[in-house]
Amino acid sequence: MKLFPSRYNYSYRINEKYSFINNVLTGAVDFIENDIWNPVLDNKLEKVKKYPLSNLIERGYFYYDLSEEESIFKELYKNYMIKAIKRPVRFVFCPTYMCNLRCTYCFEKDLFSHPSKYMDENILDYAVKAIEEISKSYSGEVKLIELFGGEPLLNKNKPVIKKILNFAESKGATITVVTNGTNILNFIDIFKTLSKQIDMFQITVDGVREIHDKRRKYSSGKGSFDKISEGIDCLLLNNINTNIRINIDKTNIDSLPDLFTYVNDKKWLEHPNFKIKPSIVTDHSSLKYNDVIIPAEELLEKLILIYDKYPELEELFGFYIFKPLRHVLEIINGAPNVSPKFFNCESNIIELNVFCPDGYIYVCPESIGKKEYAIGSFYPEFTFYEDKKNIWQKRDIFSIEKCRICKFAPICGGGCAYSSLLIFKNNKEPVCERYQETLDKFLKLRGKRILEKFLA
């Protein structure tokens, strides 16, 4: 009987004896002898012995009928989306479009000239009423509240921030604060009493002082490193969860070891409330690369060269910042019930409701201030725009024709919806994130290590 290869098979030849194979739909990950896999690739299945072939069928690499795979795909998608839409909604307050820093790679620079610069207490009241109404459609609870900007922790925002925190406290909601960290000391009095409700402060540090201050500086040109470092000390002193994000690109990645030394000397790594992870600088308005933003596999190669010299950094940071690697890494590291993600980010399931000073509700933090991408308004009246919600919700790998023939579709989800809107002016084009190239590079440079661990 004829067999059909799954359309979701990925493979990479590790050495003369073994290849790495993965089916992104079933989550199967295996190392297979090349004398078995080579005939498979050449479609000479008659040369493959019965046992390995039956094992490949059982793990979803081959089917007697591809309609069986299609049924599995649809069932997994249905079950995943049932779980996904039950995830709690994150209510995000953006109290201002203004910021006291002028970071070199900021995606919000045009917001500084926005006519609605600050959210006053009256507009905030409308936002709270809208949140109360929205929560009725879910569990009736408000579980997650986030502060975002602009820079939320500007002195002018303090009365509004106090009211937001009072609201969060009354709901018993978990609080997240995304801040540049320059003004922590002026706000610590209102945060330290809520330390047990704070999931994290996310603060960006882009390197040691010399590197960071070139990238994240005040409008005067003065660097922000010392103020931020002081703020982190203050948060940890008050046992508040503090996550440091390092935005890395070609220009600062080589400084990671120096930042590690600084963080280690500060003894932040010893603190139970401290975490630190890199993040990749991206430009969602373009598919082109430049001297700063380079293809993911090139950045990965640079990072691995650093890890080879400083293995403690690999242990601390790992590779989770690379989307194409997450699915495979989760499986290799033994995570239970690893399934495809099917969508690119939370915007596809309207998980975020971002309330902004202009009275609009946004679903993607990068789209704030651009009312053509708003999914609703809360001031002067509360309403959702169903057609705008559909732009995000109905963008999936079923609706994007090119995704239906891509082996990585179940874990890519068609790429960034906002990028698709910006670049192609519609939501039906995929924004591919170089899954093949990144996985190939990773296995070229780390495949032998993974194989040795697998065979041990």
- From the candidate CATH numbers 3.40.50.800, 3.20.20.70, 3.40.50.150, 3.40.50.2300, the one assigned to the domain spanning 89-327+343-347: 3.20.20.70
Contact 165, 190 (CB under 8 A): yes
Q: Tokens representing 172?
A: 């018993």
pLDDT (0 to 100) of residue 46: 80
CA atoms of 223 and 214, how far apart (whole Å): 7
* Residue 140 confidence class, pLDDT cut points 50, 70, 90: confident
What distance, in Å, lies between the first and last C-alpha atoms of the chain?
Answer: 37
3-state secondary structure 149-190: CCCCCCHHHHHHHHHHHHHHHHHCCEEEEEECCCCHHHCHHH
- The pTM (predicted TM-score) of the whole model is 0.94
Q: What percent of the chain has pLDDT over 90?
A: 82
Domain boundary assignment for the chain:
4-81, 89-327+343-347
pLDDT confidence bin for 152, thresholds 50/70/90: very high
Query: Residue 1 pLDDT more than 80?
Result: no
CB 314 within 8 A of CB 305: no
Q: Exposed (0-12), middle (13-18) or buried (19+): which is 107, by Cβ within 10 Å?
A: middle
Q: Per-residue pLDDT tens for 61-95?
A: 999 999 999 999 999 988 888 888 888 999 999 99
* Rounded distance between C-alpha atoms, residue 39 and residue 271, angstroms: 53
What would the pLDDT profile of 261-281 be if each residue is shown by its tens digit? 999 999 999 999 999 999 999
Question: What is the average per-residue pLDDT within 97-117?
Answer: 91
Query: Which band of pLDDT confidence, cut at 50, 70 and 90, is reported for residue 361?
Result: very high
Q: Does the pLDDT of residue 431 top 90, yes or no?
A: yes
> For the segment 246-258, what is each residue's pLDDT rounded down to a tens digit?
999 999 999 999 9
Helix axes 435-455, 323-332, angle to 10 degrees: 20
